[in-house]
Chain A
Amino acid sequence: MHSLFPKITYIISVTFFLYFLVLIAYYTFLAIVGFIEERRKRWESEAEIYPLVYFSSFTVPVSIIIPARNEEEWIRDSFLSILNLNYPEFEIILVDDNSTDRTLAILDEILDLKIRNTQYIKHFKDGQVKEILKSAKYTNVTVITKTGGLKKAGAVNAGLNIARYGYVCVMDADTVLERDALLKVMAYIEKDPERVIGIGSYFGLSNGFDIKDGIIKKRSFSYNPIIAYQNLEYIRSFFGNRIAWSRFNSMPNVPGGFGIWRRDILYEMGGYATDFTCEDIELTFRAHDYIEKRRSKDYKILMLPYYVSWTEGPSNIKSLLSQRSRWQRVVNETVWKYKYMLCNPRYKAFAFLTMPYYIIYEVLGVFLETISIVLVLWGWLTGLLGLKVFIAFFCLSITAQTFISLLSVFAFMRSQNVFRAGYVAYMIFLAFVEMFWYKWLITISKVIGTVDFLRSKKTYDQYQRAKR
């Protein structure tokens, strides 16, 4: 028994070592592909003549669906930013999911809402619709009020039931859009409307911004480390992974904060699933699955590197843990449901590039990382591992994490010009010290999320919004 411990420690240490090496190789590969792909998209965007899209009567109209539940802090700015969009034709369907605060009253102030007879055919699971209201000021705005209970998915489904246009943009009620958000994304869809079925684009955190009536007056990025780390994470996720996955058509998540889908595909798939904690990842996985199984055509689910919107991120540790544990839970739920896609040649790159990452890093990563760190620490404390190797391991985790982060930041800086040099330097510094605390917060949230998943928890815990 006594000689078993060194062996276990050895195996775990080697596994930990290999895990990091594979992860570094994987991220480096994705970062290089993302780097090339981002450059290509930037060229395309520079060459595109957007006024041609804006002034054309043939530009594809879009239905924008905004599910809202107790969003009194953000709803005014969010809604006005949509009304200010530079896009020729769109309708807005806001679904009030049983708000108990002033969300509906604020909307009434802006829109002057009236009850209208509107055809409502229930195609998808949406709960109980109470009223359908139309704006007396804006003919393209409809507000649906409904009972709660089916989370965001139920609210989006209610909006889908009355959406008129061929493309549906689903966004969050705490999101403020850039004026050319739809124009930039739809211009891309118009290039290949037959094949592009879903598309998302980059969005950042609005904490610290000065926003008035839906217009961003000043972009001052928050130096609160919780926010700055999230900015770094978003960059890593969008520029480090998603752009590259998009290149191989293996994008696992069109974000719920701003994502556009072809309506016919949503109809065929039966709308959003209400039995998951969150809806966006599941829908994207299902779309890959559905298209590969039922349709033999080429299709694309893409991610663009343009800033389209800004959303509020959690600004304290409690909110962060709540949000991230929920994300972890939904990743586990989705990966568990679609586990058969792993290494199944039918799903091409999705099966060999995305699914292994999700299973090894997103689902099992939390166990691998926690167990290996605990064991390495234990090995050192019990004298099985020398101080030298212990420090070397610890440094490996720091340098690997930093290298991966900086690769993404470099790709990001080539594409975007939103951060001041001082803020970039701050993010570089944070990247070097991430392993000392922030990484552990995320690991804890992942553990909580995994435990919640194992306990079959399905509730959507909305974190407390900061007062503005």
Chain B
Amino acid sequence: MNMYNYHADLIIKIDVILLGASLLLAAAIVLYILVKRHTNALRDKGLLELKRALYTLFQSGNEDKTCLGTVAGSSVQQFLDIQGNRRRDAVFFNQKEQALFRECFVSSRALRRAEEAARNSHNKWQRIEAIIALGYSGKEETVRILRKSLTAKDQDIHYFTAIALAQMKTADSAHALIGLLEQDHFMQRKLVSLLESFPAGIAGDIIKLLDEKDPSVRFWALKLLPKFKPMQCRKKVEALAGDPSDKVRAAVCECLGALGGKESRPVLEKCLEDETWFVRMRAVQALAQTLGGESIPVILGSLNDGSIPVLDTVKAAIKDNILAALPYMKKTFLEGDDFARRLCLEAIESSLAETADPALREKIVRAFKDIDATSAKTMERWLDA
């Protein structure tokens, strides 16, 4: 076998191909940087011109025809750059400018082109860009197009349509998103986070969701309701305290706690006996939230709870309402078990450590001395140290 220059020509050919490709790539990279820099500069220049035109429009009370023409002749990309401040490092648009631009854009040809692209474009990302633009435009009539896009099989189109609808903040767009809440389980958290920024007017539709069969829909409706504080729903929420789903029952406690008011006390007290630990935990939190210091006698009963998160919540409630809690703790110190005593001590210690006001600290220590003079002295020494 003659090995001397075996396959050398083939390898050299491959070398030449790879070297050529590498040099081409190197040139392409440099060229790309230059082109990108140039296009970015043009993009920023266009935006700057629009900013100037918007300023002139402001000054003329929307009368300057030339500037109106400049603004109305802008592209979908420019509209998105302005509404999303996507080029904020170069040009920043404030809310007034964004609103004025939106006003001009709604009556422009570009919006019609965006509508067309949102309906029919075969280029997925162009379609998404158009969908987002429709969302920013806030034009009522475009909801129909967006509703149709919501049914798209493509996950990205589906997702960004929801985002666009959330930008509109109208009753129609809220309906569309609420409808999706019932259909798309993967997106429920996202949908709720989008819906929370809507005006309180949508609360009625959210309340209706409490009757849904799907427990996850009821759960998210309960999570969302406190954002709008609709007091008329209290009874309906309380009725769900006996829901078969423990997640829903926990959300009921959370919702009642956030809604506030003492009316729900009996329902929350009943939840303290729930079989699931996180329902009991939420009930303790809700009671402390709604009743403050008044909740202590009820909450102290949970010191026998077998669940550590529940006990931690009780401890936190005692700590937050320490002055109200101290008189009731005497019984625990005298009759309670070691673990309950330790929890109470920890709560007192934490409240003292976190209190900056010396008068309040003095008050706590004095009240504590009445209950357990020895422990109080030890703690005082520890705190001084």
Contact = CB atoms under 8 A, between A and B. Distances in A.
Contacts of B166: 52
Given A52-B166, A56-B197, A424-B30, A407 B25 contact: yes
Contacts of B86: 46
Contacts of B29: 406, 409-410, 413, 424, 428
Interface string B141-173: 000000000000000100110010011000000
A410 B34 contact: no
Interface centre among A399, A425, A431 (most CB of B within 10 A): A399
Contacts of B125: 43, 47
A385 B193 contact: no
Interface stretch (B9-17, B324-332, B333-341): B9-17
Contacts of B349: 117
Nearest to B2: A6
A105 interface: no
A406 B32 CA distance: 13
B4 A386 contact: yes
Interface centre among B34, B196, B223 (most CB of A within 10 A): B196
B163 A49 contact: yes
A226 B32 CA distance: 26
B151 to A, nearest CB: 18
B33 A121 contact: no
B159 A52 contact: no
Interface string A46-68: 11110011011111100000000
Interface string B194-227: 1011000000000000000000000000010001
Interface centre among A59, A117, A384 (most CB of B within 10 A): A117
Contact of B189 (A117, A190, A388, A392): A190
Interface in B309-353: 312, 346, 349-350, 353
Contacts of A194: 186
B128 interface: yes
Dominant SS at the A interface? helix
B15 A389 contact: no
A307 interface: no
A352 interface: no
A379 B190 CA distance: 64
B189 A58 contact: yes
Contacts of A43: 125, 128
A21 B128 CA distance: 40
Given A392-B15, A399-B19, A386 B189 contact: no
A119 B312 contact: yes
A425 B18 contact: no
B3 interface: yes
Given A116-B350, A117-B349, A413-B33, A428 B26 contact: yes
Contacts of A388: 5, 8, 12
Size category of the B interface is 35 or more
Nearest to A195: B186
B193 A6 contact: no
Interface in A408-425: 409-410, 413-414, 417, 421, 424-425
Contact of B5 (A44, A389, A402): A389
Contacts of B298: none
Interface string A374-401: 0000010000111011001101100110
B11 A49 contact: no
Given A385-B3, A393-B11, A424-B29, A52 B22 contact: no
Nearest to B312: A119
Contacts of B15: 392, 395-396, 399
B197 A10 contact: no
A6 B6 CA distance: 11
Contacts of A406: 22, 25-26, 29
B196 A57 contact: yes
B181 to A, nearest CB: 12
B30 A425 contact: yes
A379 B7 CA distance: 15
Interface string A7-45: 101100110010001001000000000000000000110
B346 A9 contact: no
A298 B159 CA distance: 19
A432 interface: yes
A402 B227 CA distance: 57
Interface in B350-372: 350, 353
A413 B25 CA distance: 12
A55 to B, nearest CB: 7
Contacts of B167: 49
A458 B6 CA distance: 45
Given A389-B6, A392-B15, A191 B227 contact: no
A270 interface: no
B22 A403 contact: yes
A464 to B, nearest CB: 35
Contacts of A101: none
Interface centre among A24, A57, A58, A392 (most CB of B within 10 A): A58
B239 interface: no
Interface centre among B8, B12, B308 (most CB of A within 10 A): B8
Interface of A: 6-7, 9-10, 13-14, 17, 21, 24, 43-44, 46-49, 52-53, 55-60, 114, 116-117, 119, 121, 190-195, 379, 384-386, 388-389, 392-393, 395-396, 399-400, 402-403, 406-407, 409-410, 413-414, 417, 421, 424-425, 428, 431-432
Q: Which 7 A-B pairs have the closest CB atoms?
A: A399-B18, A58-B193, A56-B193, A392-B11, A389-B8, A386-B5, A406-B25
5 contacts: A58-B223, A195-B186, A400-B18, A402-B22, A417-B36
Interface of B: 1, 3-8, 11-12, 14-15, 18-19, 21-22, 25-26, 28-30, 32-34, 36-37, 84, 86, 125, 128-129, 132, 156, 159-160, 163, 166-167, 186, 189-190, 192-194, 196-197, 223, 227, 308, 312, 346, 349-350, 353
Given A47-B132, A389-B7, 14 more contacts: A7-B1, A47-B125, A57-B196, A190-B193, A388-B5, A389-B8, A399-B19, A402-B18, A403-B18, A406-B29, A410-B32, A413-B36, A421-B34, A425-B30
